[in-house]
Structure 1
Amino acid sequence: MDRLPDRQAIRKGAAHEAVEHLGLLRPEGTATIIDLLSNFQGEHPRAACAAYRKTGEQLLDDEKRAIGIRSNAYLSRAALAEISEKGMEDPIRAHETTLLRASFVIFRHRNAQSSARMMADHPNYPVEIQYDVFHPDACAVCADLDRTPVPSDWGLFAPVGCTCVTAPYGLRSEVDFGAPYAVRQ
């Protein structure tokens, strides 16, 4: 297996891919997604993005109505400036959906790191890393990956042709714990 990228590189790559694939944010929103990926720990992207939208100068009630959101919703001018025309279809969820897609890459990276440590610590055990597609909303491209071996690049990013909003799949390790004993016999 190839060497895994470091945390900073994977955050940048995940943010860039999510912004580009979904098109809900303008390219300058990539920096915000990187920052949010760096700072949320065990928190759902909805909560992290709600906190982000609350920070800074808020839109006035009539401005909110003009873009179709509730007057009691939080949306800062800075957050609004990052939302693309496509993202304006649901401006409250534009950052959240983008962060959610990027966070799946981060989760796969963490699983890959764990698997790489296990392979390094136990070289006598044959390990196969497989895709684990666990969400019924996965597109056909992602659904076809289920239980197939990941390529040497670890399959951290959604495959070409993926039409999922979030690319909801993980990585799992298949370990043959009996192999060292079979060799001795």
Structure 2
Amino acid sequence: MDAKTIEWIIFGPLIFGLILISWWAMGESHKRLDDPNDDRTVYLNRLRQILKLAPYGVFRVTIYRQSGNIHAEHQVTGSKEDALNTAIATFRRAGIDAVHVGANNETQLRIGRLYHDHRGRKEGKKIGKAHIALEQRMEAPASTPIPVPDLIPATLMEASEPSISIQNIGITCDCGQRSELAFAAIRNERVCEGCGKDATLTPVQIAQLEVAAEDAQREAMARYHAGETDIFVERKSKLAGDEPTTLTDQNIKFEAAKEAVEHLGLIKSGAIATIVGMMHGLAEHPRAIATAYRKDGAQLSRDEKKAAHIRANAFMSRQAYEDLTDKGKANPLNGHELTLLRAGFTENRYRRIRLHDETPDNIKDYFVGFEYQTHSSDCPFCKRVDGTIVQNAEVAILPSPDCVCETANYFVSAKMDWLKNIA
């Protein structure tokens, strides 16, 4: 028996045992991923739900390589979600979709990849873990309404006790003729009494009025539950057309949903209000929200699902299927989710800028600009702007025409220079 045979007899079982242990550990990690009650090992899209960091503040986000060396370091001023997204963006670019969670409290979060990646000669340079630390706690910014141009009154609503009524909608034609329209009649064909032209509202304009009515109703009920009575909620805006619209706190959800519906072409324009309604629940992942929507209501029959190329155990209500365009029906289970994702990324960019607008002046003094963080090297827009810094007015909140990403999933975050005022 030669020396090599002896070495194999001695070390072979040990090596084989280590391989078995590694396989077992990987298997256990993936089992924990599928356990909704296990917060130690989670997919990236679940991190937001279990995040315990302080809601607002100045955060330091440090990304480490597998070797232990620092890969990148970021200073993020804003919400805890802003800080988390900075780390997640790096992990997604590295092809990591699930992590182990270590410390998770008000002052720090530690996450790391499930297992060491030994592939390739540069394994030490691969992303390994991230640490988010709270450096300065900040108060949550007050919600400051943005003035809305006093143009066309869209929806008037008053609430007295729990009952709510919607008053007639005042609409002014381009010719100057003003008329009133009952909310129940917004889908009816109309002719302007002044100029005689067709004044029938488009599906997008109908959706805009429906969204405004739901938003006003939501505000009225919130004020009622806070103890107010004889509540009058007014909404004024210009009906949607081809001209650019100034984004405000009141219209951002509608404009984001409208852009996503029109660009992707998966959902009919008459269902914009449905996407806006889903956006109010974006604390959950869009897939869960879209699934819940498809699950609600009368379902397609088994034969109808088969004809539509939908698996038998999938949820698809008749209303959800009716929302889809012919293009959307080619992949019916993804239409609402992809549209919601794109709209959600747009609103996220807007909210980040608004959060900065409400940042205390002593913090704003260190503001340099907004830094783009993108995920695609194949998209000409994302490749061009990744890592660049622009000022507020230059940020492409609505997806840039140059962005070919399906969900336009690029972020912006406030870039701070804490040594800026040091001589």
Match of 2:275 among 29, 33, 39: 33
Amino acid paired to 2:319: A
Match of 2:264 among 2, 8, 22: 22
Q: CA deviation at 1:7?
A: 3.4
1:140 aligns with 2:351: no
Structure 1 pair 67–143 and aligned structure 2 pair: CA distance change class (3 A): same
Give the 3-state SS of the residue equivalent to 2:389 in structure 1: coil
Structure 1 pair 32–121 and aligned structure 2 pair: CA distance change class (3 A): farther
Alignment check: 8 A CA contact 1:119 1:125 kept? no
Residues of 2 paired with 1:90 and 1:10: CA distance? 27
Give the 3-state SS of the residue equivalent to 1:114 in structure 2: helix
1:158 equivalent in structure 2: 399
Amino acid paired to 1:181: I
Structure 1 pair 121–113 and aligned structure 2 pair: CA distance change class (3 A): farther
Alignment check: 8 A CA contact 2:376 2:382 kept? no
Residues of 2 paired with 1:90 and 1:9: CA distance? 29
Alignment check: 8 A CA contact 2:376 2:405 kept? no
Which of 161-170 and 85-94 deviates more?
A: 161-170
Q: CA deviation at 1:153?
A: 5.0
Which of 90-99 and 155-164 deviates more?
A: 155-164
Residues of 2 paired with 1:118 and 1:19: CA distance? 32
Give the 3-state SS of the residue equivalent to 2:385 in structure 1: coil
Q: CA deviation at 1:129?
A: 1.1
Alignment check: 8 A CA contact 1:138 1:168 kept? no
Which structure 2 segments of 5+ residues have no match? Answer: 1-145, 147-245
Structure 1 pair 91–123 and aligned structure 2 pair: CA distance change class (3 A): closer
Q: CA RMSD in A?
A: 2.0
Give the 3-state SS of the residue equivalent to 2:407 in structure 1: coil
> 1 or 2, which has the higher helix percentage?
1
1:149 equivalent in structure 2: 389
1:80 aligns with 2:321: yes
Q: CA deviation at 1:149?
A: 2.9
Residues of 2 paired with 1:179 and 1:137: CA distance? 32
- Of structures 1 and 2, the one with the larger relative CO (CA 8 A, separation 6+) is 1
Q: CA deviation at 1:138?
A: 5.9
Q: CA deviation at 1:27?
A: 0.6
Q: CA deviation at 1:148?
A: 2.0
Aligned length: 178
Residues of 2 paired with 1:107 and 1:93: CA distance? 21
Which of 111-120 and 155-164 deviates more?
A: 111-120
Alignment check: 8 A CA contact 2:254 2:276 kept? yes
> Given the two structures, how large is their TM-score scaled by the length of structure 2?
0.40
2:345 equivalent in structure 1: 104
Cα deviations by residue, 1:7-66 (Å, 9 ceiling, x for unpaired) = 33110111000000100011112111011012x142110000000001111111100000
Structure 1 pair 13–19 and aligned structure 2 pair: CA distance change class (3 A): same
> 1 or 2, which has the higher strand percentage?
2
